[in-house]
Structure 1
Amino acid sequence: MSFRDVLQPGAGRIRAAQYLPATPETVFWGRLPCASDVGVLTIDAGTEVTIDTISHEGVLEDQGRNPAVFFGGHGVDRADVLDDAVVLAASDFSRNPRVDGPHVVTGPIHVRGVRPGDLLKMTLVEAVPRVPYGIISNRHGKGALPGEYPLGSDNVSIFATVDAADGSEREPAGTLVGTLPLLPGGQRVVRFPLHPFLGIMGVAVAGEQRAHSVPPGAHGGNIDINLLTVGSSLYLPVQVPGALAYVGDPHFAQGDGEVALTAMEASLRVTVRFDVIAAADAIANFGALAGPLAETAEFLVPTGLDEHLDEAMRECVRAAIALLGARYGMEPTLAYAYLSAATDFNISQVVDLVTGVHARIRVADFEGAGLARDRTEASS
C-alpha cells in the first residue's frame, strides 16, 4: 500500500449505494448513542452501508489535537493525512477529555422496524485501510502493566507502517503486513500480518444517558474482538427502536489481550450489512442473549464481560453453555464437558475498564447434530 492509496472523504472506491462519511455532524467522540439520539442515516434491514471511520490516534488532546502536525512529525505529508480527521480535530466538537472516552464512532444508523427484543446482526462485508500507517499507544495508568510502562514520564505513541507482503508462504501475495523497528529509529524491523476489523460495533443504550466509549457491555461498543474481520458478524440485543447502530475504533491488527492499551489503530473504510433477527427467531436460534455474540465462518463466539477477568471468564463459560443448549439442545453438564475438551477461551482485551473473554466454538463439531428447534418441530 502506497501513500497514493489514501482514501480521503468521498474519494476512491465506495462499495455500497449508501455512504456515510465521518463529519462532526455524523460522529460521536468519547460517548455512544442513547435512546434520545436521532439517526444520521435511516435504512431498511438487509441494507449495506459503506462507512468512513476515523481513528482517535492523532486527534487526541495529548497528541496535540492536530493530526497534520502529529503525523507530520512522523514524516507523513499533509496530503496523506485524512481531511476528515483534520476537520474533526479543529472543530468545536464538545468533548471533555477528563471524563469522556477517546473513540470516534460514526453513526447512529436507524434500522426501520427493529424493536427492543430483536437482534441486530452487523456483518463486516469489507474493510479497507484509508492510510498506510497507524499508531500503537501506551499511556500511564492504562494497559496491562500500569506503573511499569511507559518506561519514561511521557505517553508513548509508536508509529507503525503498512507494507505489501513479500509473496512468501508466511506473507502471501496480495496481503498487507505491519512493520515496527526493533530499535527506535533502527532499520531492522519486525513484520506482522494485518487483519483489519472494527473494535467498536454497537447499538444505542436505553435511557437518556450516553454510555462512555471505553467499557464494552450488552450494547456491544468497545469489545475489541479480533475475530470480527471481513465475513464475520456480531449479534447484539436491541435496546431502543431502530437500534441506532454505530461503528468505530478501527484496527489494522490486534493481538488477543491488547496489552499496551491500543493495538495498531488506523482509519478504515468499511462496508457493513445490517440484518434483523426477530425476537422469537432470536430465542430459537441463540437463546436469551444477555450480551454480544459473534459469528465467523468457523466459530460461534459467545462473550463474557466484567471488570474482573476471572468473572468475565465465568460469564463467557455460562454464555457458551446457554448457547449450546438453546441452539443444539445440549444438556448443560455435557456442554460444560465439551467446552473443556474442545473450545478455546481467549482474552479479548484487558485494557478497557471492563475486561473481555470470548469462546471459539467450532460449528463443524455439531454438523449432523441438528438445531434444537428442528428436532422440536420434528417431534411435534
Structure 2
Amino acid sequence: MPQQVFPLDSTKAFTDQEKIGHNRWHPDIPAQVHVKPGDTFRVDCREWFDGAIHNDDSADDILNAPLNGVHVLSGPIAVEGAQPGDLLIVDILDVGPIPQEDSGPLAGQGWGYTGVFAKSNGGGFLTDQFPDAYKVVWDFQGGKATSRHVPHVEFTGIVHPGLMGTAPSHDLLGRWNSREQALIDTNPGAVPPLALPPQPDAAVLGSLTGDEYERARGEAARTAPPRENGGNQDIKNFTKGSRVFYPVFVDGANLSMGDLHFSQGDGEITFCGAIEMGGFIDLHVDLIKGGMETYGVSENAIFIPGNTDPQYSEWIAFSGTSVTLDGEQRYLDSHLSYQRACLHAIDYLTTFGYSPIQAYMILGAAPIEGRLSGVVDIPNSCSTVYLPTGIFDFDVKPGKNGPTRIDPGQGVPMSRG
C-alpha cells in the first residue's frame, strides 16, 4: 500500500480528524500534506455528506440533507515546485470503497446510495417531474451493485472520484464569484437557485483560524459546480488508470479530492445521482513546468481516461430533441434534448413494471452513455441515452410478445417536504 498521507478514522466526524480538510475553494487554505513530483501516496475520502445519509428505507435524510456542508474534501496537498502556469500530472493508480470495512454505518462500508433532492433543496436534472426527495441504497459485492429498492438490476461499478481539482488564485476566485453572482441576479428567487454564492455558514477551511478564517469564509467558493480548476466534474470514466493534467494557479498547486462514486451514469442526472460512498484513492503526481502555455491550456483540465470500465456489447438507445413537454420549440437546446431522451427511457422502463422513480434511479446510477448526437440541424438538438441491456436479469429489448412484467419490489423511499 502506498504511504497514507491523509488518513480518515471512520469513527470520527470530518472535523474531528487528525487532518481536517475543507468544503470550499479558497487559495489561502493551508496545505495539510506536502509531496514531491514523482511521489505515490494514498488519500482517504469521506462520503460527501460526512455520514448524514443512512442505510435504511426512509428518504427523510435526503429531504433534510445539509447541502451547506458539502463537499467534504481531503486536502489541500501541496506539490513541491509547482507554480502558476505549470500543469500538474495526476495518475489515479487505484480507487475504491473504504478498505477492510465491508459493513457499517458509513456509505462506503459495503454500501452506497443514490438520491433525488426535493426541488426546494436543490432538485435534480428532472426536478419538475420528480420534485420530492427519494433515496435508493445499493449493496456492493464482488465489485457489483444491487439494490433492494430497484430489483432485477446488477452492474459492475465504475469507481471514480466525482471531484478533484487544484486551488484557485485570488483573481480566479474573484472571477468565479462575480460571474456567478451576476447569474443569480438575473432571477434571485429561482427555485432551485441559478448558482450558489459564498456561504459562510458551515464553511470548513482546513486549519485556517481567527481573522483569516472569518475573512476567507465570506469569499470561499462552493464546491458544487465544475470550474477551471477541475472541481466537481462528475466524469464517470475518470477511473483507475486515468491521467489528468490540471492547470496550476497557486504555488504548490494545492490538490484536493473527494465525492467518490461507486458508479454513475453520464450526467449524474439525479444530482445526488451517482452511487455515493467514502473510500480511498491512490495517486501519483508529477509536473510539466510551464505546461499551461506549452499545451495551450489556459483553463480546464485535460484527462486520459482509464481502461477499467465494464464492457457492454448490447445497448438500447433513446433519443430526444429540443422540444418541451408542452410542445414549445427551443433552438438547439442540448440540455433539453438530453432531458427528453432520459424521459423517453424512463417511460420505456415503466412498461416492464418499474415505477418512474425506479427508472430514473437506474439512469442516475448505472453506467449509461449520454451523447450529443446532433447539434447543427436547426432548430432541434438531438441527444441520446444508451442503456446497457446486460444490467437487467430479464430481456429489456422490444419483442412481439410484449414486455416482461417484473416485480418492482418495495419501491423507492420518498419524503415529501
Same fold by TM-score greater than 0.5? yes
Matched, 1:195 2:151: no
Q: Which of 157, 164, 168 is 2:135 aligned to? A: 157
Aligned twin of 1:10? none
**How much has 1:28 moved relative to structure 2?**
3.9
Aligned length: 243
CA distance in 1, matches of 2:306, 2:153: 30
Amino acid paired to 1:123 = D
Q: Compared with structure 1, are the counterparts of its residues 210 and 227 closer, same or farther at alpha carbon in structure 2 (3 Å cutoff)?
A: same
Counterpart of 1:267 (choices 275, 278, 283) is 278
What per-residue deviation string (whole Å, max 9, x for no partner) do you get for residues 142-166 of structure 1? Answer: 211113215xx5x2221111122xx
1:109 aligns with 2:63: no
Q: Which residue of 1 aligns with 2:6?
A: 20
Q: Name the CA distance, whole Å, in 1 between partners of 2:79 and 2:50.
A: 32
Q: Deviations over 1:353-378 (max 9, x none)?
A: xxxx9xxxxxxxxxxxxxxxxxxxxx
Secondary structure in structure 1 of the residue aligned to 2:74:
strand
Q: Distance in 2 between matches of 1:297 and 1:264?
A: 19
Matched, 1:235 2:249: no
Q: 1:43 aligns with which of 31, 35, 46?
A: 35
Give, as a single letter, the amino acid of the residue that structure 2 aligns with 1:221: G
Tell me, yes or no, if the aligned pair for 1:179 and 1:191 is still in contact at 8 Å: yes
Q: What residue identity is the alignment partner of 2:241?
A: G
Question: How many Å apart are 1:275 and its aligned residue?
Answer: 1.3
* Larger RCO (alpha carbons 8 Å, 6+ apart): 2
Corresponding position of 1:144: 125
- What secondary structure is seen at the aligned counterpart in 2 of 1:147? coil
Separation (CA, whole Å) in 2 of partners of 1:211 and 1:46 = 30
1:53 aligned to which of 42, 45, 50: 45
Counterpart secondary structure, 1:190: coil
Q: What is the aligned partner in structure 2 of residue 223 from structure 1?
A: 233
* Among 5, 8, 30, the residue aligned to 2:23: 30
How far 1:224 moved relative to its partner? Answer: 0.6
Distance 1:29 1:109, change over 3 A: closer
Does structure 2 conserve the Cα–Cα contact (< 8 Å) formed by 1:116 and 1:240?
yes
Contact 2:165–2:255 (CA under 8 A) maintained in structure 1: yes
Deviation at 1:19, TM superposition (A): 2.6
Change (3 A) 1:116 1:58: closer
Q: Contact 1:198–1:228 (CA<8 Å) still a contact in 2?
A: yes
- Mark the CA change 1:181 to 1:269 in structure 2 (over 3 Å): closer, same or farther: same
Structure 1 contact 124–272 (Cα < 8 Å) conserved: yes
In 2: Cα distance, 1:59 partner to 1:18 partner: 22
Establish whether residue 294 from structure 1 lines up as the match of residue 303 from structure 2. yes
Alpha-carbon shift at residue 27 of structure 1 (Å): 4.0
Cα distance in 2 for partners of 1:249, 1:18 equals 18
Quickly say closer, same or farther: Cα 1:137–1:157, change in 2 above 3 A: same
Work out the CA distance in 1 between the residues paired with 2:333 and 2:254.
29
Give the Cα separation in 2 of the matches to 1:200 and 1:145.
22
Counterpart check, 1:257 vs 2:267: yes
Task: Tell me the CA shift for residue 288 of structure 1.
Answer: 2.8
Quote the offset at 1:128 in angstroms: 2.3
- Cα distance change on mapping 1:346 and 1:20 into 2, 3 Å: farther
Q: Which residue of 1 aligns with 2:408?
A: none
Query: Structure 1 residue 140: deviation in Å?
Result: 1.6
Counterparts of residues 294-333 of structure 1 (less than 5 Å): 294-296=303-305
Q: CA 1:19–1:74 in 2, change beyond 3 Å: closer, same or farther?
A: farther
Contact 1:101 1:213 in 2 (8 A): no
CA spacing shift, 1:193–1:58, aligned 2, 3 Å: same
| Residue 205 (1) aligns with residue 154 (2) | no
Structure 2 gaps of 5+ residues are: 9-13, 59-64, 99-108, 171-215, 308-331, 336-368, 373-382, 384-417
Aligned to 2:396: none
- CA shift, 1:346, in A, is 4.5
Q: Is the 8 A contact 1:30 1:101 kept in 2?
A: yes
Going from structure 1 to structure 2, the CA distance change for 1:309 and 1:236 (only over 3 Å counts) comes to: farther
Structure 2: which amino acid aligns with 1:30? N
What do you get for the CA RMSD once the two structures are aligned? Answer: 3.0
Cα distance in 2 for residues equivalent to 1:218 and 1:271: 23
Matched, 1:126 2:94: yes
**Partner residue in 2 for 1:276:** 287
TM-score (norm 2): 0.53
Instruction: Call closer, same or farther: CA 1:297–1:192 in 2, change over 3 Å.
Output: closer
The whole-number CA distance in structure 2 between the counterparts of 1:101 and 1:293 is: 29
Query: How far is 1:215 from its partner?
Result: 0.7
Residues 156 and 182 (structure 1), Cα distance of their counterparts in 2 relative to 1, 3 Å cut: closer
| Structure 1, gaps ≥5 residues long | 1-14, 64-69, 76-95, 165-175, 299-307, 312-343, 348-356, 358-380
| Offset of residue 57 of structure 1 | 4.5
Instruction: Tell me the distance in 1 between the aligned counterparts of 2:264 and 2:127.
Output: 19
3-state secondary structure, aligned to 1:144: coil
Distance 2:96 2:33 in 1: 21
